[in-house]
Chain A
């Protein structure tokens, strides 16, 4: 498989060398995306500057600070180390919870998929716990874990864990039986079957689970930071940043926090997509 990745990679490089810039310039999707973001910002600026449209009070957007004010605030905020500290803390929490969820969730989901006894024993409790929203775990988690940091990490973990497991299980159970039959008649052992058929066959679902799980982790981390006040011991995080900006009455700064989370989330899911791209050369669209 590594060889396959390598050769596919080589092809990509050749294509990339030939016309990377040109392609970028020709990319209509990209230009449309940029244009629509600019339009959106313009619309936002104009409408939040003029609170009254044709004599009608605009209910929502009139209260939002204009992008110029947000930008101004942002320029000021990025000079404060506390802001970057918040980024750092939230990222660490998200990644800690997420990575633990992957490490525990993938083998757990696989075991559920391939072993009947394991499934009979562990699936029922799993299904009872799964519908509980991660945030409902916050109080119990605070009582249960010695530090706020750990309780936030635990809740974050739960957010990703259930999604990842259910995706891995679903993916592994729906592998086309013909692949299994073909491999078996070619003499694959149980281990070969697992390693060379079930595992790669489940990879797409693993990455789907990871992408959805990553989204949930950000939701959960931000909410947990708000609820726990970021913690006296730990403090900070982008969720807490938003909350304290709100308490301090700076609406522009609240929006700065919101956009920061948007960027952080986008960055995280791009990373997952990129890793998926590296791991699944056969799914690349040329």
Chain B
């Protein structure tokens, strides 16, 4: 019985070609607090993300990456420009704040599993509150998905009882159970040691190969960006615009041997140069503000 169920969920979760999840960001500007002290966080930023693409966003600290993600997710309004998801307007001049919806799932910078629910109940939450599945069906499906991600042993634990890496993986499963078009990740593996990170990357790539969900992934770690991404978008210092887009034409599935290859090293160098230039600008701008 359980085996049977698993099969169907696997079939559903892996469509052969992903036809949905295109994000089109057109001339987006975001100014915080238009009345008072204006902070322009994003300036006339345009970016096309294909369905099923892993798009990595890098850029100096405080440049406006999180802001852009928040606008896509519907947590913040935009000031001007438009964002489309599969030709459907998310937000634009007449509708500055996008609806929050399960088609765009966010995995937060600091982790946002509900501490009062077990990992299993966290994962079951979405389908249950949307009324798609009954509580017990949602829990069955959540159990299957946690098993698929190799986390069945900790399914009944509370987030406070597992490592941060485990919690972050469960959070991604919690997002995926909603079958989103896009996964929005904001530095999910920040402050993890290199070893944990590599395990996270493996798990994420395995998950990606199963679902081919579009991924919008913010990071400061350039090796992570190249290793995971199809493209790496380097943002300018605040206000954020796209400065450079590095295409990573390394075939999938990828594994860790890649890290020592010449191709990989060159791509990291290329990205690093662009980011470094912006970081220096950001630093100098900071100095000027202080002076």
Does A12 make an interface contact (CB < 8 A)? Answer: no
Bound-state CA distance A234–B160 (Å) is: 50
A181 with B75: in contact, given A186-B130, A187-B129, A192-B129 (CB under 8 Å)?
yes
The one of B101, B108, B112 in contact with A187, judged by C-beta atoms closer than 8 angstroms, is B101
Bound-state CA distance A189–B110 (Å) is: 24
With most chain A CB atoms within 10 A of its CB, the pick from B115, B130, B159 is: B115
Per-position binary interface string of chain B over residues 83-106, scored 1 when its CB falls under 8 Å from any chain A CB and 0 otherwise: 000000000000000001110111
Q: Which of A193-225 contact B (CB under 8 A)?
A: 196-197, 200-201, 203
The one of B106, B116, B126 in contact with A280, judged by C-beta atoms closer than 8 angstroms, is B116
Does B268 make an interface contact (CB < 8 A)? Answer: no
Does B156 make an interface contact (CB < 8 A)? Answer: yes
Instruction: Report the count of interface residues on A (CB-CB < 8 A).
Output: 27
- Residues of B near A4 (CB, < 8 A) are 117-118, 121, 156, 158
Judging by beta carbons under 8 Å apart, are A185 and B100 in contact?
yes
- Residues of B near A184 (CB, < 8 A) are 100
Judging by beta carbons under 8 Å apart, are B115 and A186 in contact?
no
Does A1 make an interface contact (CB < 8 A)? Answer: yes
Bound-state CA distance A187–B179 (Å) is: 13
Bound-state CA distance A179–B159 (Å) is: 13
**B75 closest partner in A (C-beta):** A181
Q: Which residues from chain B sit less than 8 Å from chain A, CB to CB?
A: 73-75, 100-102, 104-106, 108, 110, 112, 114-118, 121, 125-126, 129-130, 156, 158-161, 174, 178
Bound-state CA distance A107–B104 (Å) is: 34
Per-position binary interface string of chain A over residues 158-186, scored 1 when its CB falls under 8 Å from any chain B CB and 0 otherwise: 00000000000000000010110111111
Bound-state CA distance A196–B117 (Å) is: 9
- Residues of B near A186 (CB, < 8 A) are 102, 105, 125-126, 129-130, 174, 178
Bound-state CA distance A108–B108 (Å) is: 32
- Residues of B near A176 (CB, < 8 A) are 112
A178 with B116: in contact, given A185-B102, A186-B129 (CB under 8 Å)?
no
Cross-chain pairs A/B with CB under 8 angstroms, 26 sampled = A3-B121, A4-B117, A4-B121, A7-B156, A176-B112, A178-B108, A178-B110, A182-B106, A182-B114, A185-B100, A186-B130, A186-B178, A187-B101, A187-B102, A187-B178, A196-B114, A197-B114, A200-B116, A200-B117, A201-B116, A282-B115, A282-B116, A282-B158, A282-B159, A282-B160, A286-B161
- Residues of A near B126 (CB, < 8 A) are 186-187
9 closest pairs, A vs B, by CB?
A186-B126, A187-B130, A178-B112, A200-B116, A282-B158, A185-B100, A182-B112, A192-B129, A188-B129
Bound-state CA distance A197–B108 (Å) is: 17
Judging by beta carbons under 8 Å apart, are A185 and B101 in contact?
yes
- Residues of B near A203 (CB, < 8 A) are 116
Does A281 make an interface contact (CB < 8 A)? Answer: yes
- Residues of B near A282 (CB, < 8 A) are 115-117, 158-160
Min distance, Cβ A176 to any Cβ of chain B, angstroms: 7
- Residues of B near A280 (CB, < 8 A) are 116
Judging by beta carbons under 8 Å apart, are B104 and A185 in contact?
yes
**B156 closest partner in A (C-beta):** A7
Bound-state CA distance A189–B112 (Å) is: 18
The one of A3, A179, A281 in contact with B114, judged by C-beta atoms closer than 8 angstroms, is A179
The one of A182, A196, A200 in contact with B108, judged by C-beta atoms closer than 8 angstroms, is A182
Min distance, Cβ B288 to any Cβ of chain A, angstroms: 32
Judging by beta carbons under 8 Å apart, are B74 and A185 in contact?
yes
Bound-state CA distance A7–B158 (Å) is: 11
Min distance, Cβ A113 to any Cβ of chain B, angstroms: 17
Judging by beta carbons under 8 Å apart, are B125 and A183 in contact?
yes
A1 with B125: in contact, given A181-B75, A185-B106 (CB under 8 Å)?
no
**B115 closest partner in A (C-beta):** A282
The one of A3, A185, A188 in contact with B105, judged by C-beta atoms closer than 8 angstroms, is A185
Judging by beta carbons under 8 Å apart, are B106 and A181 in contact?
yes
Judging by beta carbons under 8 Å apart, are B114 and A185 in contact?
no
The one of B100, B130, B161, B174 in contact with A181, judged by C-beta atoms closer than 8 angstroms, is B100
Judging by beta carbons under 8 Å apart, are B116 and A183 in contact?
no
Per-position binary interface string of chain A over residues 263-286, scored 1 when its CB falls under 8 Å from any chain B CB and 0 otherwise: 000000000000000001111001
- Residues of A near B121 (CB, < 8 A) are 1, 3-4
